[in-house]
Chain A
Amino acid sequence: MLKFLLLILKNLRRNPVRVSLTGLAVIVLVTIYVLIQSVLSFLDQQMQEKTTNIRLIITERFRIPSRFQKADFDRIVLPGGETYARLMQLPGYLPEAWTLWHFIAFSLDPDMTRRDPNRFFFAIATLPEKIPTMIEGLEGLDPTLCEKLKNPGVSGMENAGLLLGPKRLARLGVRVGDRIQVFSLSHRDRAGQMIKMDFVVVGVLPENTRWDEAAFIDYDYLERTLTDAGSELAGLINLGWLTVLDQATAQTACAIIESQNRNIKCETAATAVNRFFEPLKDILFGVRYILVPTIIVVMAVVVSNAIGITVRERTTEIAVLKVLGFTPAQILVLILGEGVLIGLLGGLLGVALPHVLVNYVFKGIRLPLGFFPIFFVPTEAYYWGPWIGTATALVGSLWPAITGCRVQVAEIFRRVT
């Protein structure tokens, strides 16, 4: 076995240019495969129903954007309501695992004619204390940072904290500690005018998450402001979130919630993401079943070509090996081994390269798809890359290897003069 490996390595060292070029081709093709697969596998994860800790999303049933009364949501999550009482009887129901979102768009600039995209931001008004437990990707966020949304430490600015994603902070050109005045783009007061709000930037969200461009504010502050301004959006929320332990609880909880209020719908986050991606299904299908296989075929063709040339150049040598007693199977293994080794090493490097570049140098692939603005190369890619490199190289080398082991000794030596 070791002898075979040494022989394969020696053979590879005989033509470093060809081996390097083939290896480079495998590296770049595995790299692009890993990048695409990273995006697809992340979306698959989001669209696949989980078995534990299932997130439920509650929205207005018939309209986009969803808006419904917070009072309806309170009946689900706060003691006193019939829905709450029925949910509490479910074994997998987690009574503390809930939060709510109200979206609002702001501009730093009251003059809308300037339309500077760096002066806009979308904020999620939510319950600060629930951020570290109820927002995917922000688990483990420092609770004191969330507390600052309620108490920014500036007198007269209770609940007026603003947490910004690092990219959004940079775009807006503000710093932690700054006090800013913003104007609502999506919400109007009773006279139809923009609503002014003051905030203190209390912190920055972690880097390299999909919340890079996000902003969080305290729901209580928004609600108070909207009520004072006489906005028709006061008392409304866009989404409610629950987490339950298992699928059975999820199904029952949704049925209870919907039966109690016909105007809201409850579904797992995976179902909602699936529906959102429905218009992109054609693109995702094309990427998954046309683009990815093409990359693999191109890789196989490049390897096949390189190994094929090698075999054709070494027919005499193969004939000599046969004369020396090598069986066709051993010759097959020798030739396949060259391809497989190139595929394996190329595959490994083809993962390491995007993993380091994307995750540590470029800080993510910025491809805004719905709610997912940024993607990273997962560590699982270290399984896919070498596997796809090796498997493709094996398939690509197969025909040249079969040709090589079928070399007729007499035929070859008749030509040697």
Chain B
Amino acid sequence: MIPLRYNVRNLMVRWRVTLLTAFGFLLVVAILVVMLAFVEGINELARRAGRPDNVIVLREGTNDELFSDIADTADLARVWLNEYVATDSAGEPLFSPEVYAIATQQLPPDPRDGRPRYRFLQIRGVLNPPRAAAVHGLQLLRGRWFSSVGNECVMGEGIAALLGLDVGSSFTIREGLTWQVVGILDSRGTPFDSETWAKREVVGQEFGKDNVERGQRFFTSILLRLRDPVAVSWFCETIKDRTGLEVSAVPEPKYYERMSEANTMFLAAALFIAAIMAVGGMFGLMNTMFATVTQRTKDIAVLRILGYQRWQILLSFLLEAMLLALLGGLAGMAVGSMFHGVEQKSFISSGQGGGKTVVFQITVTPFVLRTAFWFTVVMGFLGGLIPSWAATRLRPLEALR
């Protein structure tokens, strides 16, 4: 075998070309790592979003609570008053009927033209805040839960920071509707980080979920905690028949998983972009390796005369190409990993036109690093193959002449 040291020395002798080619690889792999880590960040958020023993009940035919409306009738209690729903220490069933809405908050006018400006706010109306938080697996970071009187709310830590609000602050959604922030949710890393929670009545009436004229009130979803996580699938499949209501149920993790399905589009786009960039990088590597072979025709001839076989020459140059790719690739993985933990804002959607704004962290997982590594290896292999093969075709005597 031709010693690997020979290849390493060659890379060091031609250090400028080595560094430039490796730098190209570094950029391609770093971008791949960041793009994959971005997708993984949203997936991670969706994975942590739901408890496996929680079930979300929606109106039949909807995938997104924004578009769901379940009329609050006497029969509705059949959804949570049954032996399958878990109870708290006081024996109360763990359920939370809620109203989820997106509100348009009016902001101070634009100083340039005096026109009003708006932004979207995600609002959840809950009946019993401590119980709702218990079912969602959330706690208060500071402050207290809102009371049954007055316009009070609690906010996700992320949205509160974004809006510059804290316990004691108040904000106006529109004329005549001002909420006072009385608590901050410990919601980092969950989809509730960008939500504001308030009284169900206020949210239902102010954001068009209730029909005030007809005296009807609606919930967009009902979150339940089941006693037996094993029974979740069965519970979801049979809820319509058991209750006789036009509702469907889905395990909470699956609900958020569905919401993050749009990410497959980002994942596909990320891989496509990275693959095309890699092809560009590969051509650069081929250039370098062809130049290497041309510069070392005499070396190759001597090696052949010394008795090294064609396949050994091929292997040697291929290893050199892969070494060069790995040099850049590993550095790229390191650079890409520096983005781990960077906070990002994005959007998850069930594809029905609704969706949620979420704050998440770019997450470099072992999957991301494994993908980047094998990506580098394959690029190095493909980029080095043809020049290495060309090296084996050299005729020793002609090369030495």
Residues of chain A within 8 A (CB-CB) of B266 are: 283
**Given A279-B346, A279-B357, A297-B27, A60:B269 Cβ within 8 A:** no
Query: Is A64 a contact partner of B102 (Cβ separation < 8 A)?
Result: yes
A265 within 8 A of B: yes
1/0 contact trace for A103-129 toward B, CB 8 Å? Answer: 101010000110000000010000000
Residues of chain B within 8 A (CB-CB) of A282 are: 344-346
Residues of chain A within 8 A (CB-CB) of B283 are: 21-22, 24-25, 28, 302
Query: Is B16 a contact partner of A308 (Cβ separation < 8 A)?
Result: yes
| A301 to B18 CA separation, bound complex (whole angstroms) | 12
Query: Is B174 a contact partner of A294 (Cβ separation < 8 A)?
Result: no
Query: Is B173 a contact partner of A107 (Cβ separation < 8 A)?
Result: no
Residues of chain A within 8 A (CB-CB) of B353 are: 65, 103, 122
Q: How far is the CB of B364 from chain A (nearest CB, A)?
A: 15
Counting from the closest, the 5 A-B pairs by CB-CB distance are A64-B102, A25-B283, A302-B284, A279-B357, A29-B280
Q: Which residue of A lies closest to B177 (CB)?
A: A62
Query: Is B281 a contact partner of A31 (Cβ separation < 8 A)?
Result: no
Query: Is A63 a contact partner of B104 (Cβ separation < 8 A)?
Result: yes
1/0 contact trace for B246-288 toward A, CB 8 Å? Answer: 1010000000000000100110010001001101110110111
B187 within 8 A of A: no
Residues of chain B within 8 A (CB-CB) of A64 are: 66, 101-104, 120
B337 within 8 A of A: no
| A32 to B275 CA separation, bound complex (whole angstroms) | 10
Query: Is B61 a contact partner of A62 (Cβ separation < 8 A)?
Result: no
Q: How far is the CB of B18 from chain A (nearest CB, A)?
A: 10
Interface residues on A, range: 35 or more
| A350 to B287 CA separation, bound complex (whole angstroms) | 19
1/0 contact trace for A25-40 toward B, CB 8 Å? Answer: 1101101100010000
Q: Which residues of B contact A (CB under 8 A)?
A: 16-17, 20-21, 23-24, 27-28, 30-31, 34-35, 38, 60-62, 66-67, 71, 101-104, 106, 113, 115-116, 118-120, 173-175, 206-208, 211, 214, 240, 246, 248, 262, 265-266, 269, 273, 276-277, 279-281, 283-284, 286-288, 290-291, 294-295, 344-347, 351-354, 357
Q: How far is the CB of B261 from chain A (nearest CB, A)?
A: 11
Query: Is A21 a contact partner of B345 (Cβ separation < 8 A)?
Result: no
Query: Is B17 a contact partner of A305 (Cβ separation < 8 A)?
Result: yes
A143 within 8 A of B: no
Query: Is A278 a contact partner of B101 (Cβ separation < 8 A)?
Result: no
1/0 contact trace for A13-29 toward B, CB 8 Å? Answer: 00001100110111011
Query: Is A278 a contact partner of B71 (Cβ separation < 8 A)?
Result: no
A317 within 8 A of B: no
Seed contacts A61-B104, A291-B31, A301-B21; 12 additional CB < 8 Å A-B pairs:
A18-B291, A62-B103, A63-B104, A107-B61, A194-B61, A255-B115, A262-B175, A275-B120, A280-B346, A290-B31, A304-B20, A308-B20
Query: Is A265 a contact partner of B118 (Cβ separation < 8 A)?
Result: yes
1/0 contact trace for A279-302 toward B, CB 8 Å? Answer: 111110010001100110111011
Residues of chain B within 8 A (CB-CB) of A298 are: 24, 27-28, 277, 280-281, 284
Q: How far is the CB of B137 from chain A (nearest CB, A)?
A: 24
Residues of chain A within 8 A (CB-CB) of B66 are: 64-65
A69 within 8 A of B: no
Query: Is B20 a contact partner of A62 (Cβ separation < 8 A)?
Result: no
Q: Which residue of B lies closest to A306 (CB)?
A: B287
| A113 to B246 CA separation, bound complex (whole angstroms) | 11
Sample (30) of A-B pairs whose CB atoms are under 8 Å apart: A18-B290, A21-B286, A21-B287, A22-B283, A24-B279, A24-B283, A25-B287, A26-B280, A28-B277, A28-B280, A29-B277, A61-B106, A62-B103, A62-B106, A62-B173, A63-B104, A64-B104, A112-B248, A113-B248, A192-B246, A251-B113, A275-B119, A282-B345, A283-B38, A294-B31, A298-B24, A298-B28, A301-B21, A308-B20, A313-B291
Query: Is B284 a contact partner of A305 (Cβ separation < 8 A)?
Result: yes
**Given A61-B104, A112-B60, A258-B116, A22:B31 Cβ within 8 A:** no
| A194 to B61 CA separation, bound complex (whole angstroms) | 10
Residues of chain B within 8 A (CB-CB) of A36 are: 273
Residues of chain B within 8 A (CB-CB) of A29 are: 276-277, 280
| A113 to B60 CA separation, bound complex (whole angstroms) | 8
**Given A308-B20, A309-B291, A367-B265, A294:B27 Cβ within 8 A:** yes
Query: Is A302 a contact partner of B287 (Cβ separation < 8 A)?
Result: yes
Q: How far is the CB of B75 from chain A (nearest CB, A)?
A: 11
Residues of chain A within 8 A (CB-CB) of B67 are: 65, 105, 186
Residues of chain B within 8 A (CB-CB) of A24 are: 279, 283
A368 within 8 A of B: yes
Residues of chain A within 8 A (CB-CB) of B61 are: 105, 107, 112, 185, 194
Residues of chain B within 8 A (CB-CB) of A105 are: 61, 67, 352
Residues of chain B within 8 A (CB-CB) of A112 are: 60-61, 248
Query: Is A32 a contact partner of B273 (Cβ separation < 8 A)?
Result: yes
Query: Is B20 a contact partner of A25 (Cβ separation < 8 A)?
Result: no
Query: Is B276 a contact partner of A32 (Cβ separation < 8 A)?
Result: yes
1/0 contact trace for A160-184 toward B, CB 8 Å? Answer: 0000000000000000000000000
Residues of chain A within 8 A (CB-CB) of B287 are: 18, 21-22, 25, 302, 305-306, 309
Query: Is A291 a contact partner of B113 (Cβ separation < 8 A)?
Result: no
A67 within 8 A of B: yes
Residues of chain B within 8 A (CB-CB) of A44 are: none
Residues of chain B within 8 A (CB-CB) of A25 are: 279-281, 283-284, 287
Query: Is A278 a contact partner of B119 (Cβ separation < 8 A)?
Result: yes
Residues of chain B within 8 A (CB-CB) of A113 are: 240, 248
Residues of chain B within 8 A (CB-CB) of A306 are: 284, 287
Residues of chain B within 8 A (CB-CB) of A43 are: none
Mark out the residues of chain A between 80 and 120 whose CB falls within 8 Å of any chain B CB in the assembled complex. 103, 105, 107, 112-113
| A62 to B106 CA separation, bound complex (whole angstroms) | 8
Residues of chain A within 8 A (CB-CB) of B113 are: 251
A358 within 8 A of B: no
Q: How far is the CB of B296 from chain A (nearest CB, A)?
A: 13
